[in-house]
Structure 1
Amino acid sequence: MPLQMTLSAITLDCLNPPALAAFYQQATGLEPHPKSHADFAGLNGADGLLIGFQRVDGYRAPRWPDQTVPQQFHLDFAVEDLDEAEARLLELGAGKPAHQPNEDRWRVLIDPAGHPFCIVRR
């Protein structure tokens, strides 16, 4: 019988947790975790899922699609309008790599700490 486990948090390594949390807070509207500080910041989802950002000295951003520094994982966010969401995220500080494998269905963006993430049509 499998363990009864519930995913409670996803944590991303970065150099500046408060700045990366601010980017994702502006992008998602999630509430900041009340015990966030310089070395760890978090955002609380309504379903109890915490997205955390932890400071790692010597952090090296993933290189997507190149695997010199592999992405290891990425987050996907469902949106109503890809163009509108992309424009807003770029305003907030995301980057958009040239390599877009299926731009009609999803977009690959890069957060300010270098993590690839996708926006997908809801």
Structure 2
Amino acid sequence: MKLNAITLDCPDPLALAAFYQQATGLEPHPKSDAEFAGLAGVEGMFIGFQRVADYRAPRWPDQTVPQQIHLDFAVEDLDGAEARLLELGAGEPVYQPGEGRWRVFIDPAGHPFCLVRAQAGELL
């Protein structure tokens, strides 16, 4: 079994796909539209974004509306990646549980995601 796609609920699939496309450099799927948009990577990974009526954004760290899933991205330079993501419209919550090992951000649709320092052979 091989994971090949992750899909996030959101109110505006094209806008959220544009945010992640700028953040990751993944290529937009040619059949993306206002109901479902996607990004494809060279190694077959696909991130999808689907429109959900009455979408409610997760609350971080409060679990009133639980996060349910979050993405982790490995980067060489945490400070540089942070600056770029904030320019693209990501939010940075005050609560940062990683004690410097990772940083939590909020995408434009409210999903928390993390940046971790890229280290060969290591997970979080």
TM-score (norm 1): 0.94
Residues 103, 82 of structure 1: alpha-carbon distance in 2 compared, 3 angstrom cutoff: farther
Report sequence identity in percent. Answer: 80
Deviation string 1:35-77 (CA, Å, 9 cap, x unpaired) is: 1001000000111111000000000000010000000110000
Q: Does 1:67 align with 2:63?
A: yes
Counterpart among 2, 10, 13 of residue 9 in structure 2: 13
Q: Say if 1:84 and 1:103 are closer, same or farther in 2 by CA, change over 3 A.
A: farther
Equivalences, count: 118
Shift of 1:6: 1.8
Alignment of 1:33-112 (within 5 A): 33-112=29-108
Q: Point out 4+ residue stretches in structure 1 off by more than 4 angstroms.
A: none
Cα deviation for residue 84 of structure 1 reads: 0.6
Report the residue type matching 1:88 in the other structure: R
- Give yes or no for the alignment of 1:25 onto 2:21: yes
* Aligned-CA RMSD value: 0.7
Q: Provide the rounded CA distance (Å) in 1 between the counterparts of 2:27 and 2:68.
A: 26
Given residue 24 of structure 1, which amino acid in structure 2 is its aligned partner?
Y
In structure 1, how many angstroms separate the alpha carbons of the residues matched to 2:110 and 2:99?
A: 20
Unaligned runs of 5+ in 1: none
TM norm structure 2: 0.93
